[in-house]
Structures are given as structure tokens and as C-alpha cells.
Amino acid sequence: MSLEDLFGPQPDEPERPAREPRAAREPRPAREPRPPREPRDPKPPREPREPRTPGGGGGSRTTLILGIVAGVLAVAVVAVVGFALTRPSDSAQPATSATAVATDDASAPASTPSSTPSPTTTAAATGVAFSATGFTLTTGAAGQPFTYRWADEPAAAVAALTAAFGAPPTQRTQAGNGSTLPDYTVYTWNGFSLFEMVPTATLTRADFSQPAYALFTANEVGGVPITAEFGLKIGMSAAEVRALTPAPASETPRASGSIRFAFDPQRSSFKNGTPSYSVFADTDGADGPVGTILYFYAPQ
């Protein structure tokens, strides 16, 4: 749209001549009406179909479908009956057996694996006998005795004692002084303890005079007799200890009121890497009884 259309002719522009009116169009002639269509002839009525007879070429589809369905059902029934007749009569037996096995397993106690190595012999132990240089685990005629020296590695001894006593030991650590006395791992059965040193860079098993030691507080552990030297036994009175031959070389009263008896204290030594220990008996009072027997290094 121009300024002229909005505000009329501008002063600097000439006026445009007016447009001539268009000539009126001539009217179109009216269309002639179409002639009416002639009516069509009516169709003749259809002849009725003849009814189909069963069995003929044009048999009923419904009858055919029903026949097929009946045949399929008959085959399915025959298959089910045949499977039921051929199924084994004892098919439920495996489930019963599995239940019985599970019941048996549940009634049996669960076994607990031992953390100790397997013992070197399976023969029943008949006793543990102590000496100055260690102890010997004796067995029946069919087995070989197991001998442990104080400087030996402890694994085999722990395994042999576990098999002999019929139970694994409890373990704890007994602290040393950090310089001249090492820490010890203590393997304890009910009535028997084995102390094994924890080697360090400055204290090794090969050059330490007490790499291991032992004590017991019962004459039998797990049904296995424990035997000390000199006839010494747990439960003896002080008078019975004094009557032993050879007589103790020393008798030391202790602050608790008990007495420590020392047997053959001069044999505590460490020669050529082999430690030898003395035997000590501690009473539970001035008159006894003996409550603990020890084998350890204590030279006098």
C-alpha cells in the first residue's frame, strides 16, 4: 500500500487520471434441460438353489470341519492313554530316595576341618614320654613312634599331638621382652601346653637355648598317658616328691606359698645347637599336691 492510498495525492506528484469503467459482461445463455433417462428393464428373479446332499461332491463345510476336529481329538486321547499305560510305576521312587538322603545328612553332625597339618601316623597313641631333649609319642605295634626335639620345627609336633589327643589345640601368644626373650605361640590342649618361639632376625631357633618348652597339668590327656622322668606325677604330695630317687637337688618356696622342686638342674644346657632341659614340679600349696610339671631351660 502506497502513501497515495493512505493520504491521497502528494504535492510533488501529478494527479493520476481516473480509470475508465470496465464494460459490463454479456449474460450467458441459459442451458437447455437434459432429456430424461429411459427406465431400465427389471432383473429377473434368481432361481432357488437345490439343497446339497450329504456325501456328495458339494458336501457341507461344517460337517467336514467337525469331522476333522473329532479326528484330532481322537488322536490326542489315544496318545494320552498310551503315555499313561507306558509310564513306569516306580517313577516317584527317586524323590523318596533323595528325601531319605537329605534326612540322613541333616542328622549327621557337620565336620570341622582342623587348621593343623595331618599327623605322620594313623596308629592310636599309647603315651607321651618326656626326656631332657624333647618327647616321644608312642603308638601301638603297627605304628612308628614320633620323636620331637626342642629345636625341631613345630608343625609336625602339633599335628602328631592333635591326632593323639583327638582334638585341635587353642592358640595364644605369650609376649617376651623384645630382646633376650622372644614371643611364644602357645598350643594348648586340655591339660597339655606346647610353647613354640616366634623367631626374629636376632633370635632364631638355631641359636636360641630355649626354642620350645612344655608343661602339663594332668597325667592323661584325651586318654593318652603323659609320663615325666623320675617317677614324678601330677597329684603327688610334697612328701612324696621328696621321697623320689634321685632326690631333688633344689626346693624353692614361692611367694604364693607353693614349692618348686627342681630335678637334675645341672643338665640344662645348650651345646652344638642342641638344647637340654631340667624338670620342675610346682605344688599348689606347701604340702602339695603337685599341680604342674614343666620341662624348660634353667641352668643353675
Could you give the CA distance from residue 138 to residue 120 in angstroms, rounded to a whole number? 12
| Structural domain containing residue 243 | 234-300
Residue 1 within a domain? no
Residue 109 within a domain? no
Residue 280 within a domain? yes
Q: Are 276 and 262 in contact (CB under 8 A)?
A: no
Selected residue with higher pLDDT from 42 and 283 = 283
Domain tally, the chain: 1
Q: Which of 293, 250, 263 is nearest to 135 (CA)?
A: 293
Residue 275 within a domain? yes
Q: By three-state DSSP, how is residue 28 classified?
A: coil
Give the range with max mean pLDDT: 174-178, 212-216, 272-276.
Answer: 212-216
Residue 247 within a domain? yes
pLDDT of residue 76: 59
Residue 135 within a domain? no
Residue 290 within a domain? yes
Q: How many CB atoms lie within 10 A of CB 75?
A: 9
Residue 200 within a domain? no
> Which strand ranges, in their side-by-side order, compose the sheet holding 125-131?
146-149, 134-139, 125-131, 224-227, 220-221
Whether the pLDDT of residue 20 is over 60: the answer is no
Whether the pLDDT of residue 84 is over 70: the answer is no
Could you give the CA distance from residue 144 to residue 122 in angstroms, rounded to a whole number? 10
> In the chain, at which residue ranges do the beta strands (DSSP E only) sit?
125-131, 134-139, 146-149, 170-174, 184-189, 192-197, 212-216, 220-221, 224-227, 250-253, 259-263, 269-271, 274-276, 278-283, 290-296
pLDDT of residue 228: 98
pLDDT tens profile 43-68: 655 655 554 544 444 455 666 666 67
- pTM of the predicted model, to two decimals? 0.59
Contacts of 94 (CB under 8 A, 6+ apart): none
pLDDT tens profile 235-288: 999 999 999 988 877 999 999 999 999 999 899 999 999 999 999 999 999 999
Q: Concatenate the DSSP letters of all residues of 46-106 into one string.
A: PPPPPPPPTTSTT--HHHHHHHHHHHHHHHHHHHHHHHHHHS-TTTTHHHHHHHHHHHHHH
